[in-house]
Amino acid sequence: MEDVMHLMCAARGCPNRWTVDAGDGHLCSRHAWKPAKEWPSITEDIKAAPVQTMSAVEYRKVSDEEKLAILRKVEEMFSHSNHKRWAHALREREARGERLTPYQRSAWKEALGVRE
């Protein structure tokens, strides 16, 4: 369960950790409000200009209350009822035509008991 994939933005190649629960995936604030077809170019922007992501909004001081909320969220992600949500999210992304890495593909298939 130390796989950092669970903490990262669901947009492929995005170096940010997720901050927004988009329902079918966890996204960083740069990707969360944009259609998926714009994600690759947004990812390129983030990589090309990482300083841009150092906005006051994203890097504001996090209160203890917010930290607790984040911890609960992480706990929930790993809890029994939700522990395969990431796998469903990956499967949906693949179904939408996104190319997953071989590792992502075999990970969700294994988690959901799908045979190659």
Between 12 and 105, whose beta carbon lies closer to Zn ion? 12
The C-alpha atoms of residue 11 and residue 33 are separated, in whole angstroms, by 12
| Pair 43, 11: CB distance under 8 Å | yes
Q: Does 87 bind Zn ion (CB under 5 A)?
A: no
Between 58 and 110, whose beta carbon lies closer to Zn ion? 58
Residue keyed to tokens 């960083």: 28
Q: Does 36 bind Zn ion (CB under 5 A)?
A: no
Applying CB under 5 A, among 16, 25, 26, 90 the residue interacting with Zn ion is 16
Q: Does 14 bind Zn ion (CB under 5 A)?
A: yes
Q: How many residues bind Zn ion (CB under 5 A)?
A: 6
* Three-state secondary structure call for residue 41: helix
- Pick from 12, 109, 4, 16: nearest CA to 55: 16
Q: Does 31 bind Zn ion (CB under 5 A)?
A: yes
The C-alpha atoms of residue 13 and residue 5 are separated, in whole angstroms, by 11
Applying CB under 5 A, among 1, 3, 7, 11 the residue interacting with Zn ion is 11
Q: Does 28 bind Zn ion (CB under 5 A)?
A: yes
**Angle 57-46-7 from CA coordinates, rounded to 5°:** 70
* Binding site residues, Zn ion, CB under 5 A: 9, 11, 14, 16, 28, 31
